[in-house]
Structure 1
C-alpha cells in the first residue's frame, strides 16, 4: 500500500502541552435537573433537618418520657418492654422456634441474616435499573423485611399487658415511700422473709411486684391469718409455700402483719391492738368503780 492511500487522519491524538482550566458547567444550562451542592442542596437539607428537630423537641415537651418507680432487681414479676425500635425482635423471641433452646436462632442468626442482607445488597443486586419493578430480588427482600418488622412490632404492642405494667411502674407517694423506709431489714422476720423466697413475689421492701405478688406493708391481715395464708395459700398464691419451722412461721407472720416493723406494731394488728387497748381501758374503769 502506498503511503497515504486508504488512510484518514481524524485529528491529532497527542496530549496538548497547555491544559485548559477545569471550569464547571453552568447549571443554568440544565434547568430543573441539577443544582450546586453548596450552598443550594446543603441549605435545603439543613432546613428540613431543623424542621424535624423542632417538631421532635415540641413532642418531648408535650409528652415527656414516662417515669417508673426505682428499679428493683428482686422483682421477678416485672414485665419488661424495650424501646419501640426493638419491639420486633422482642416479639420474635417469644416464638417457639426462636426462644428457649433456639434463642441463638432468634437473637443472632435471624437478625444477622437480615442485617447481613442489607450489607450485601450492592453485591446481591448489580443491575443498573432504578425502578423497583425492574429489581424484583432487592425489592422483594426489602418489602418482606418491612412487612415482617411492622407485623412483629404490632403483635408486641397488642400482646403487652399495659394495665399491669402501669400498675407495676406506678410512682409511690410520700406516705407509701415512708412506709417502705420503715421496713426493718435487720429483723429476724426479714431474714426468714428472704430465705423463704417471699422477696421474689412481694419485693425487698414488702412493696409487692404487681402481677407476681401484692403489697404486704399495708396488709389488713393479722398474724394468725398470715400464718394460715402462708400454709394454705390464697387466690393465685399456691399452698405449702412455707417450709420452715412453726417458730419461724410465727416470727414471719408477726413481721408481715406489722408492716415489716414488728417493734412498732401496725399493719393488720393495728385495729386489733386498738380494740384490745379500748377493752383494757374499759376493764380498768370498771375496776375503779
Structure 2
C-alpha cells in the first residue's frame, strides 16, 4: 500500500506498479522554446524561402548556366562531367583511396557512410535542447558534411574552364543553318557525305558536324580523300571536278552561316 494513493495489486513482485508514460512531452513544457505555428513559425519559413528563391533567380540571371551540344558517343576526346550538385562525388573519385582498385570505396562505402551518419544524427543526439551548443554531435556532423561537399565541389569546378568548354561544344540551332540545295556540290555531298554528316552538315553518331570548320576548300578536299582523325582515307570516290564542287559547297555553307 502506498500512502495517499490507495491500494495497488500486482501479480508479480518483479513488475513495478509505477508506470511511466512513453509519450514524449509537449513543447509547451519547455518554456521559451515553442511558438505558434501561425503566423510566427510559418512566416519565418516563408521569409527564408523567399530570400533563397530571390538569390537563386538573381544568380541564374547574372551568370546563366553554359549549355553544350548534343551528346556524341563517337567523340572519344570528350570528357563528360556531372551536374554541379554531383561534382563533389566526381572529385572524390580522383583520389587514390577512392579510385582504381578502390573505386567501390569511392562510389559506395564512403558516400554510404556519410549519408547514413547524417540520417542517424537525430538519434545519436536526441537531447531536448535546441541550441547548437546543446547538440554538439548533430551540429558537428552537419558542419563536417557541409564543409566536405563545398570543398570537393570547389576543387572540381576550379579546374574546369566552363566558358571555353561550352564554346567548344556550342550547339548549332537548326533554324540558323542555311544549306543551298541548288549548289552544284550539294548533290555530290548528298551522295558521298550526308549519310554520316547529316543532310544539313549537323553531324551524327558516326561523324562530327561540318559546321564551323576553319579549313580552306583545298584542305577540305584533302581531308575528303586522305581522311583525318577517325575518318579513314578513300571515302570519297568521285572525280576531281566533283571533289572541287564538294569542297566549295562545304566552304560556302560555313561562310553563309558565319555571317
Q: Give the TM-score range, shorter chain.
A: 0.5 to 0.7
Indicate yes or no: 2:78 matched with 1:74: no
* Aligned equivalents of 2:153, 2:102: Cα separation in 1: 21
Q: Is it true that 1:204 corresponds to 2:208 in the alignment? A: yes
Count of residues in Structure 1 that have an aligned counterpart in Structure 2: 221
Cα pair 1:190 1:252 within 8 Å, conserved: no
State the TM-score, normalizing by the size of structure 1: 0.53
Does residue 250 of structure 1 match 2:234? yes
Q: Please list every run of 5 or more consecutive structure 1 residues that lacks an aligned counterpart in the other structure.
A: 1-7, 14-26, 194-198, 209-214, 231-236, 272-289
- TM-score of the superposition, structure 2-length normalised? 0.58
- 1:111 is displaced (CA, Å) by 0.7
> Cα RMSD over matched residues?
5.0
| 1:87-126 aligned within 5 A | 87-125=87-125
Residues 199-221 of structure 1: per-residue CA shift (max 9 Å, x gap):
9999433458xxxxxx5876651
Tell me the residue number matched to 1:147. 147
For the Cα contact (< 8 Å) 2:226–2:234, is it kept in 1? no
Distance of 2:223 and 2:210 partners within structure 1: 17
Q: What is the CA deviation profile of residues 102-144 of structure 1, one whole-angstrom value per residue up to 9, with x for unaligned ones? A: 3322111111111011112234445666666676655554443
Q: Deviations over 1:242-278 (max 9, x none)?
A: 8x7xxxx3344979x99xx95942259979xxxxxxx
Counterpart position of 2:158 = 158
Alignment of 1:116-265 (within 5 A): 116-125=116-125, 138=138, 140-172=140-172, 177-178=177-178, 187-188=191-192, 203-206=207-210, 215=213, 220-221=218-219, 223-224=221-222, 230=228, 249-252=233-236, 262=243, 264-265=245-246
> Structure 1: how far apart are the matches of 2:223 and 2:68?
32
**Residue of structure 1 equivalent to 2:18:** none
Q: Determine the C-alpha separation between the residues in 2 that align with 1:81 and 1:206.
A: 25
2:247 pairs with 1:266? yes
Q: Structure 2 unaligned runs (5+)?
A: 8-27, 198-202, 253-259
